[in-house]
Structure 1
Amino acid sequence: MAALHLWLLRHGATEWALNGRHTGNTDLPLLPQGEAEARGLAPVLAQHRFTAVLSSPLQRARRTCELAGLGEQAQIEPDLKEWDYGDYEGLTTAVIRQSVPDWTVFSHPCPGGESSDQVQQRCERVIARASAYASGAPGERCDVALFAHGHILRSLAGCWLGQGPAGGARLVLGTGSFCVLGYERQTRALIHWNAPAQPA
């Protein structure tokens, strides 16, 4: 197996992302600030050759991928969609905690939405799909880019590290940032996290 490196790329800023409103299936566009963040990823990504580029089908992720320079390679991956927040769609954590104290997406259910187990299944499928690209000679490097959303990428990192989606609770992830998951002596590891790109 080649040495797999998963690049996790969160989309640029949207109105709800800046307001702290949970944005699952609501298909919001990037703000001008978000487009600048996405363009800022391009110089970093241009230094690497990606075996595959997978994107959430939602426009904020697809547009980030395009502005970051990898749109022509992109394949849509439905499992990279954001958490389905159900009844909590569009609400902030502060509003939810008025009725459910101490609520977080990582520790409490989303009525009418996805469970943590369902999210873990999606994350594991994405990891399996990305791992399938790492079929080259041992020692070679295989970079796979994943353009998606804050909570699903945090959950995916938690699954990569063997902690399940709940492991993402301790991994803060800003808009327009990049992260790299890989290996350290055959052990899954966090290589970069929440690295800001240069504003374009």
Structure 2
Amino acid sequence: MKTLHLLRHGATPWNATGQLNSTTDIGLSDRGRQEILAIAPLVQGLALDRVMCSPRRRAQETAQLLALPLPINPDDRLRELDFGCFEGKTPAELAQDLPFQQWYWDANPQVPVSVESFESVADRAQAFLQDMATLPDNTILAIAHGALIRILLCHCVLGMNPHTYRRLRVDNGTLSTLIWDSQGLRLTALNCTSLRSA
């Protein structure tokens, strides 16, 4: 049985203020570092064979804090959804931004030119999963971002439209787990700071 653990990076200063963050390459906050140090013993006990990681600084710093005895393999497909013109905006600003409201909440989202489509993120998440499924490694850790992980779970695992990712909650410094078994690809844990053996 193959297992993929998805770890959302630790919190950043922008997570604290609610600002959207994709391409702005900021590091972890003190809180974020504490989140990762808190979950590190759990991750270190997963008997990992491979570590994949978004190239963004906040994900790379998360990987380094875990202190795993494995190389960190950057994969650009794990980068966050590109928020484009919404990058850096606060919740108060977004509440008054009609294009954001139409993009984020509408059943048929209108995607501004500068913003990456949900389908684009779903496509690269699917390509990543397909590659992980063909590796000889049995237990893989992928360190990534909130929207990316939720779109991957919604679309690639649960078969939902990728824009429904907002219905899932994935906090900073938490694990979500997938397995490939005789029934295919399945979600066994979501938004966890501890894991129970089956």
- In 2 relative to 1, CA 184–84 (structure 1 residues): closer, same or farther, beyond 3 Å? same
CA deviation after TM superposition for structure 1 residue 166, in Å: 2.7
CA deviation after TM superposition for structure 1 residue 61, in Å: 0.3
- In 2 relative to 1, CA 48–120 (structure 1 residues): closer, same or farther, beyond 3 Å? same
Which of 155, 159, 163 matches 1:162? 159
- In 2 relative to 1, CA 21–110 (structure 1 residues): closer, same or farther, beyond 3 Å? farther
Letter paired with 2:127: R
Unaligned runs of 5+ in 2: none
* Residue 139 of structure 1: aligned partner: none
Which of 139, 144, 148 matches 1:148? 144
* Residue 196 of structure 1: aligned partner: 193
* Residue 112 of structure 1: aligned partner: 114
Which of 121, 124, 128 matches 1:122? 124
Q: Distance in 2 between matches of 1:164 and 1:145?
A: 25
Q: Secondary structure at the match of 1:123?
A: helix
Identity of aligned residues (%): 29
Worse-superposed segment, 90-99 or 185-194: 90-99
Unaligned runs of 5+ in 1: 137-141
- In 2 relative to 1, CA 187–167 (structure 1 residues): closer, same or farther, beyond 3 Å? farther
Which of 130, 133, 144 matches 1:131? 133
* Residue 182 of structure 1: aligned partner: 179
What's the TM-score once normalised by structure 2's chain length?
0.86
More helix by share: 2
Q: CA RMSD in A?
A: 2.2
Q: 1:79-94 to 2 correspondence within 5 Å?
A: 79-94=77-92
Letter paired with 1:80: L
Which of 40, 50, 53 matches 2:51? 53
Residues 2-61 of structure 1: CA deviation (Å, up to 9, x unaligned)? x22111101111011111111000001101111111111211112222222110001100
Letter paired with 1:127: L
Q: 1:36-47 to 2 correspondence within 5 Å?
A: 36-47=34-45
Query: How many pairs are equivalent?
Result: 189
Q: Distance in 1 between matches of 2:69 and 2:88?
A: 28
